[in-house]
């Protein structure tokens, strides 16, 4: 088995991704409109070993029709705009307990409540993995997603 190291991210070769058994992952969707709001776990089956990437893809895709009937929604569905600067919707790196998710397309915020719910579902979804203790979510420009402070770095430094 071969793996490629690209920009600090372990990339699986096609043989590894197709040979891996499907794995169940949990995706946390919003229910209601509180801040940050209630989240409800749903199970998805990843067809490849990139389970964290798959889980974020499912957040963007959103709940199924049956899940929407149960009142679940995703604040990321339909919010990505423009061309990607990395060839995908996002890049995800997990290193030393920190998952860094950088969107490669513009993520349109929809207000304080919606933005808080989006960040909360991302955090809950990524922290299900034992290797993730902290989540940093970045916009396309490298600023913290939805951070309107002068520095735009509060998710990294923990200070506003």
**pTM listed for this prediction:** 0.81
Please choose, from the candidates 45, 125, 47, the residue with its C-alpha nearest in 3D space to the C-alpha of residue 92.
125
| pLDDT tens-digit series, residues 134-148 | 999 999 999 898 887
**Range from 8-22, 66-80, 89-103, 118-132 carrying the lowest mean pLDDT:** 8-22
Helix, strand, or coil (residue 100): strand
Cα distance between residue 48 and residue 25, in whole Å: 11
| pLDDT tens-digit series, residues 4-45 | 434 444 444 333 344 567 899 999 999 988 887 899 999 999
Quote the percentage of the chain above a pLDDT of 70. 83
């Amino acid at each position: 088995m071969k793996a490629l190291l690209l920009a600090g991210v372990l990339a699986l070769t096609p043989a590894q991704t197709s040979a891996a058994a499907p794995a169940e992952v949990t995706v946390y969707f919003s229910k209601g409109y509180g801040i940050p709001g209630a989240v409800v776990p749903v199970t998805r089956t990843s067809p490849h070993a990139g389970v964290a990437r798959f889980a974020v893809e499912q957040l963007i895709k959103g709940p199924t029709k049956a899940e929407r009937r149960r009142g679940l929604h995703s604040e990321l569905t339909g919010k990505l705009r423009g061309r990607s600067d990395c060839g995908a919707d996002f890049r995800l790196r997990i290193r030393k307990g920190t998952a860094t998710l950088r969107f490669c397309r513009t993520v349109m915020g929809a207000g304080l409540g919606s933005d808080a719910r989006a960040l909360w579902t991302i955090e809950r979804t990524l922290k299900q993995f034992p290797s993730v203790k902290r989540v940093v979510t970045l916009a396309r420009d490298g600023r913290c997603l939805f951070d309107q402070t002068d520095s735009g770095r509060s998710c990294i430094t923990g200070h506003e």
